[in-house]
Amino acid sequence: EGFTSINVSLRKQFQLYANVRPVLSFKGTKARYEDIDIITVRENTEGMYSGAGQIVSADGTEAEAKSIITRAGAERIVTFAYELA
């Protein structure tokens, strides 16, 4: 039941659970905001990536998916983000 992509399978196998996205603004470029220096950390193996409960109706007009987040997975990503900060 459900589909898990090769990307998600590799992330799980190699414990690549943290998606880290640093963002910096560049001097001399026109942007809405200046002096941006942030890092976004997102969990990369659970939630909608779990592949659990993905169902498509027989006629293909509806789809349903479960988002499963474990306590261990949530604590792991929060700890990672906290230590990175």
Residues 2-22 have a mean pLDDT of: 85
Cα–Cα distance measured from residue 60 to residue 56, given in angstroms and rounded to the nearest whole number = 6
pLDDT at position 3: 65
The count of residues in the chain is: 85
How many angstroms separate the CA atoms of 22 and 37, rounded? 8
Q: pLDDT per residue over 57-83, tens digit each? A: 899 899 888 888 999 999 999 999 999
What are 65's two structure tokens?
Answer: 């998916």
Q: What is the pLDDT of residue 31?
A: 86
* Predicted local confidence at residue 30, as pLDDT: 87
